[in-house]
Amino acid sequence: MVFNYDVVVVGAGHAGCEAAAAAANLGAQTLLITMDMTKMGQMSCNPAMGGIAKGQIVREIDALGGYSGIVTDSSSIQFRMLNRSKGPAMWSPRAQCDRSLFSLKWREMLENTPNLFFWQDSVVNLLIEDSTVKGVHTALGVDFTAKSVVLTTGTFMNGLMHVGRAQLAGGRSGDMASYGITEQLRQLGLEVGRMKTGTPARIDGRTIDYSKVVAQEGDANPEKFSFLDTVKPLERQLPCYITYTNTDVHETLRAKFDESPLFNGTIKSIGPRYCPSIEDKVRTFADKDQHQLFLEPEGWDTNEYYINGFSSSLPLDVQVSALTKIPGLENARIFRPGYAIEYDYFQPTQLYHSLETKLIRNLFFAGQINGTTGYEEAAGQGLIAGINAARSVQKQECFILSRESSYIGVLIDDLVTKGVDEPYRMFTSRAEYRILLRQDNADERLTPIGIEIGLVKKDREELFKYKQDSVEKLVRLINKTSVTQDQINDLLVSKNTPPINQTRKLVDILLRPQIVIKDLLILESIKNFYNTLPCIQKEILQQADIKVKYSGYIDRERIIANKLSRLEDIRISDCFDFNKLQSLSTEARQKLSKIKPKTIGQASRIPGVSPSDINVLLVFLGR
């Protein structure tokens, strides 16, 4: 029996959930296939969303009409805005989540999405004709035809878990691996590699000595991820806890390095540089006497704790022995050991910016299959892949986000242009335009685009327009208002900033780092305006404050971005033969021929392509 759909999404992790929701919300009849419908959006590793640059990605997903922000806000147990001591370009939201509630909320939202259907099964083959995907074939022998297919297989393709010398096939603890797709795609010419990631042991919170660890509370006035006003910030929060390893812990680990699959040759694939296992940290940073650990609760109604910073694939007895030498964990009992997992991925230079594969039409990849690590990176890719899968069905142009528009654009451009040799993780330092790509203005950057492509719903569109209008009115009010000594000096003195001796423009007062707009509510004109706002007052004040204080920096970075973006307007034909340009370096010809950049801008970011090579291309193209 054959079933027909417009789009089939394989895998219901963070990438798959966003891809399925996006395709269905754009009107495509969409099928989401997963091996276990009780684990949609499963947090396979840490129970948290966001963080440095990752929080910006979640806000961007929300601004475009995706679901990750809403799901996170609906299941959070703690919220923190990281990097508050730095400028707003570095502020990054992060939330601890209730792991079970997070997955339940994802399923609830997906099951209430029109045009979206479900099937529990494992996909073992793709149906391909004339280099075009036509559907999928499952382990139960069912064929699902589709005009587009999105693969979001996570760590499941030929997944192999390691705990010491013990090995177990699986995509994560308690779940079987998937087989068949890797072998088929390799035969069709796609380059396949292996990567490794890992996770720590989970411990019983009842066995933690809380007198020996330091509580880490959430923000006093927590914010949230979604720009919608229907989801509210947390009213109560659970604390995390901080403790440290020590030399006894390190010696216990070192004594058994020969039993570590990372060091004895059992694991040959590459792990994430920025989330190393504890044994990797002890070896790499041999001069350090301690490493910080975070004990993170897994939810409101469970005793399970996640030990952030203690990923390990050492034997169970070594993990337990080392853990019990950590302050606060002397009597700790574990629910399950940490483990490493190896899995298949495909070099992302084999993709277009739309995340469609170059060799097989209408086949899209998203998530760890592209060599990335992290829920947020996966979700961002899933959203773009789902949008483009639906647009392909509807015969529309592919949807691409630029580097100057979003962190998602930076992520995808890095992947398809540079490729990966280790699991890719997003940081603010990877973006050239951090001042433009702030977490507070993700809606300003992307919601108009979401409206244009039809993904943003009416309620979000109306709230966005109200917010933008309110921010502009407030900025204009600040720019035209003047204040006297009597009106403002008491505030200035209380904030340890010099008083004024003559009437000054209010904008000059706000430019002082000690003053924020909220302080100006003592002024009648600002207070009256604030009282007219029926909702999202805090968001409006924050964005107006940033626009005023950083207007010079923002304008300067926008000018630079506009200049460089002109290179993105110079198109390169798909059939352009780089090998005929002998003025290019040999490395440039090889790299350009392999990646086939769409624009001069993309060509300029390929490792091994020099500025002189770009000049050669510009001259040849008459520019």
Query: In this predicted model, what pLDDT tens digit does every residue of 285-295 receive, in sequence order?
Result: 999 999 999 99
Structure confidence at residue 562 (pLDDT)? 85
89 vs 86, 468, 614, CA distance in Å? 8, 19, 30
Looking at the structure, tell me whether residues 305 and 408 fall in a common domain.
Answer: yes
Tell me if 58 is assigned to some domain: yes
pLDDT of 402 strictly over 70: yes
DSSP-assigned letter for residue 276: -
Final residue before a domain boundary, out of 391, 426, 447: 447
The annotation status of 256 as a binding-site residue, yes or no, is no
- At 429, the pLDDT band (50, 70, 90 cuts) reads confident
The annotation status of 123 as a binding-site residue, yes or no, is yes
Final residue before a domain boundary, out of 447, 471, 489: 447
Tell me if 212 is assigned to some domain: yes
The annotation status of 169 as a binding-site residue, yes or no, is no
Rounded to 10°, the helix 537-549/458-480 angle is 50
What contacts 577, CB < 8 A, 6 or more positions away?
none
The annotation status of 15 as a binding-site residue, yes or no, is yes
Looking at the structure, tell me whether residues 560 and 576 fall in a common domain.
Answer: no
Tell me if 453 is assigned to some domain: no
- Asked if residue 447 lies in contact with residue 475, where contact means CB atoms within 8 angstroms, the answer is no
The annotation status of 389 as a binding-site residue, yes or no, is no
Tell me if 138 is assigned to some domain: yes
The annotation status of 71 as a binding-site residue, yes or no, is no
The annotation status of 27 as a binding-site residue, yes or no, is no
Which of 167-171, 211-215, 452-456 bottoms out in mean pLDDT, i.e. has the lowest?
A: 167-171
Structure confidence at residue 563 (pLDDT)? 79
Tell me if 126 is assigned to some domain: yes
The annotation status of 271 as a binding-site residue, yes or no, is yes
Tell me if 160 is assigned to some domain: yes
Final residue before a domain boundary, out of 393, 412, 447: 447
- Percent of the chain clearing pLDDT 90 (strictly above): 83
pLDDT, average across residues 615-620 = 86
Looking at the structure, tell me whether residues 599 and 498 fall in a common domain.
Answer: no
Looking at the structure, tell me whether residues 9 and 115 fall in a common domain.
Answer: yes
The annotation status of 283 as a binding-site residue, yes or no, is yes
pLDDT, average across residues 260-287 = 90
Looking at the structure, tell me whether residues 535 and 600 fall in a common domain.
Answer: no
pLDDT, average across residues 391-396 = 97
pLDDT, average across residues 152-162 = 95
Looking at the structure of the chain, the number of domains it has is 3
Between 42 and 600, whose confidence is greater?
42
Give the C-alpha separation, 588 to 606, whole Å. Answer: 9
Structure confidence at residue 598 (pLDDT)? 87
- At 416, the pLDDT band (50, 70, 90 cuts) reads very high
Looking at the structure, tell me whether residues 261 and 184 fall in a common domain.
Answer: yes
The annotation status of 13 as a binding-site residue, yes or no, is yes
What contacts 73, CB < 8 A, 6 or more positions away?
95, 224, 225, 226, 231, 232, 233
CA 619 to chain centre: 38
The annotation status of 544 as a binding-site residue, yes or no, is no
CATH of the domain at 466: 1.10.10.1800
pLDDT, average across residues 170-199 = 94
The annotation status of 230 as a binding-site residue, yes or no, is no
- Model confidence over 337-376: pLDDT tens digits? 999 999 999 999 999 999 999 999 999 999 999 999 999 9
Looking at the structure, tell me whether residues 37 and 74 fall in a common domain.
Answer: yes
pTM of the full predicted structure? 0.93
CA 194 to chain centre: 21
The annotation status of 205 as a binding-site residue, yes or no, is no
The annotation status of 622 as a binding-site residue, yes or no, is no
Determine how many CB atoms are found less than 10 A away from the CB of residue 406.
28
Looking at the structure, tell me whether residues 380 and 394 fall in a common domain.
Answer: yes
Tell me if 452 is assigned to some domain: no
The annotation status of 353 as a binding-site residue, yes or no, is no
- Model confidence over 442-482: pLDDT tens digits? 999 999 999 999 999 999 999 999 999 999 999 999 999 99
Looking at the structure, tell me whether residues 488 and 405 fall in a common domain.
Answer: no
The annotation status of 368 as a binding-site residue, yes or no, is yes
pLDDT, average across residues 104-131 = 98
Structure confidence at residue 570 (pLDDT)? 87
- Model confidence over 42-75: pLDDT tens digits? 999 999 999 999 999 999 999 999 999 999 999 9
The annotation status of 416 as a binding-site residue, yes or no, is no
The annotation status of 582 as a binding-site residue, yes or no, is no
Q: Which of 542, 154, 203, 181 is nearest to 368 (CA)?
A: 154
Structure confidence at residue 623 (pLDDT)? 59
Looking at the structure, tell me whether residues 67 and 209 fall in a common domain.
Answer: yes
The annotation status of 284 as a binding-site residue, yes or no, is yes
Tell me if 29 is assigned to some domain: yes
Structure confidence at residue 1 (pLDDT)? 65
Determine how many CB atoms are found less than 10 A away from the CB of residue 552.
9
CA atoms within 13 A on the CB side of 483: 26
- Model confidence over 492-532: pLDDT tens digits? 999 999 999 999 999 999 999 999 999 999 999 999 999 99
CATH of the domain at 267: 3.50.50.60
**Average pLDDT over all residues of the chain:** 94
The annotation status of 11 as a binding-site residue, yes or no, is yes
The annotation status of 280 as a binding-site residue, yes or no, is yes
State which residues form the domain around 552: 458-566
Looking at the structure, tell me whether residues 529 and 385 fall in a common domain.
Answer: no
The annotation status of 338 as a binding-site residue, yes or no, is no
Looking at the structure, tell me whether residues 550 and 612 fall in a common domain.
Answer: no
